[in-house]
A and B are shown apart, each in its own frame.
Chain A
């Protein structure tokens, strides 16, 4: 059974750093991209970026380039999303999902449960 299990909820202060994780199981972790998606409270889904774990090839959505860092560790089948200096506007649920390609564009076929990040002074 394919599963993506994300780390737990976080409460942080502005300016702090953070890394959240997403551990894949039930499939060959190195054969699929992992995508990251943000959902602000009461709002829609936003594509942040994606990583191919085997060579750490990363694509960022222009809106998130320079704002976050996506990484992967094939030894633990884990992808990470990190911030060096959090802002209140980073408050959101962050989802990781497996990216599969069948036709001309990838789709997110299995999702993690989400990590709620609250940034408040």
Chain B
């Protein structure tokens, strides 16, 4: 049972917009900790996608964006492409776990 809750799967057709939610609590996202997002392609190491208040590392297209409100956060992907098919994870910190990092359970994105 992950501290941060994500839907197990989402899907969308090429060109569409999809969102992936990440729900936490008052001890993590609601405590003001930022939420970061990672993309993991099959058989590869995770890659940082979004960090802090909607920042993208160099090379990440602006089709990817992040937002946060209250105890939840969301990753939005617009103009869906076949190569976006991957697992996506949110990450934050939790003060009830001695301020350790925590991940969501992950969401499998299928491009139809």
Contact = CB atoms under 8 A, between A and B. Distances in A.
B103 to A, nearest CB: 4
Q: Closest 10 A-B residue pairs measured CB to CB?
A: A47-B101, A107-B36, A44-B106, A103-B52, A107-B51, A105-B93, A105-B33, A61-B100, A45-B103, A111-B45
A111 B47 contact: yes
Interface residues of B, number: 32
B63 interface: no
A45 B89 contact: yes
9 contacts: A37-B103, A47-B100, A47-B103, A59-B98, A95-B45, A102-B51, A103-B52, A104-B93, A107-B34
Given A44-B106, A105-B33, A114 B45 contact: yes
Interface residues of A, number: 28
A112 B47 CA distance: 10
Given A45-B89, A102-B52, A103-B52, 19 more contacts: A37-B46, A45-B38, A45-B46, A45-B106, A47-B101, A47-B102, A49-B100, A59-B100, A62-B100, A95-B46, A97-B46, A103-B34, A103-B53, A104-B33, A105-B35, A107-B91, A108-B36, A112-B45, A114-B45
Contacts of A107: 34, 36, 48, 51-52, 91
Interface of B: 2, 32-36, 38, 40, 45-48, 51-53, 55, 57, 87, 89, 91-93, 97-106
B45 A109 contact: no
A56 B100 CA distance: 16
